Structure 1
């Protein structure tokens, strides 16, 4: 895995978001000093079978201008920066800029900040840590992982909102309603109705 050339924060938009599975799996709360909301413009989000998020650069035209992905910017404690980025390169099957086998590319781009920085567990352990000074609405340079494979429409569905947490919440509400419906039907059948 290649080392980063600059210590940019990381923009995440899927399972690495705070509160989602890979955030905990990679113990990011212990390595991330601050997190804040952000938008990556001119990108579209897709879901592989409703559980695997990917983003790609939007095509041309007006739709591309309106396309955006909502996520979080994570600022890593400097002593963890290279090691966590290399672990995430592994997760995303990124093997360097010249590799033909990359599932994702670790790209550099700009995001627009949408919230103030929130300190996480790693910030409490570092007394000399500075809070990020960029203001809401500012653009900052970040790394992010972009899909590097064809999007087969049979398996990929565009997420119109560009918001993975919103997408997951909608799936869970739908699943819960379906389960409630099944339970209600079974209860009526058991009562002889």
Structure 2
């Protein structure tokens, strides 16, 4: 059904340096990409998160587990900045630790389908997957979204929707 969950507490070094899958205001061209990612990534390419749904949030989207696909970008940290980038993203996403009741998002490991380098368009579908960190809506947020949230058709968040806010994957 869903890939195994793996989290680490903020500030603790991960056992493996994983890429990050982003799908909201951290996407290229969005406000938080410039603020948090500029100069901190070595590679960025289109990707798809399978078995997930995307919902509108207040200025940013939320991804949750579900029967759909979320389009985004797979980011690889630049050499020597992985720990800094992990800490910045944990802070931005209000991830206080695995299962913390005040988390806005949970940082989990998921299989992501990378697309070709460069161009936009369809990502995934090649059968190849990469294990990546993904910030999914925390449990309380997920419950609220499932009962009254606005689903984003097609799983692709764009600036044309709600203007980007200061805190979103």
Q: State whether TM-score is above 0.5.
A: yes
SS at match of 2:88: helix
Q: RMSD of the TM alignment (CA)?
A: 2.3
Q: Which of the residues 147, 170, 174 maps onto 2:137? A: 147
Residue correspondence of structure 1 range 1-193 to structure 2 within 5 A: 1=10, 2-26=12-36, 28-49=37-58, 51-58=59-66, 64=67, 67-116=68-117, 137=126, 138-148=128-138, 149=141, 150-152=143-145, 156-165=149-158, 168-169=159-160
CA–CA separation in structure 1 for the residues paired with 2:97 and 2:112: 22
- Paired positions, count: 145
User: Distance in 2 between the 1:110 and 1:3 partners?
Assistant: 21
CA radius of gyration, larger in = 1
Structure 1 pair 107–82 and aligned structure 2 pair: CA distance change class (3 A)? same
The normalised TM-score by structure 1 is: 0.68
**Per-residue Cα deviation, 1:109-150 (whole angstroms, up to 9, x for no partner):** 1111112268xxxxxxxxxxxxxxxx9822111001000123
Question: What is the deviation of 1:170?
Answer: 5.4
How far residue 5 of structure 1 moved from its aligned partner, in angstroms, is: 2.5
| SS at structure 2 position matched to 1:75 | strand
Q: Which runs of 5+ in 2 are unaligned?
A: 1-9, 164-169
CA distance in structure 1 between the aligned counterparts of 2:118 and 2:14, rounded to whole angstroms: 23
Q: Which has the higher contact order (CA 8 A, sep 6+)?
A: 2
Identify, as 1 or 2, the structure richer in helix. Answer: 1
Distance in 1 (alpha carbons) for counterparts of 2:149 and 2:84: 31
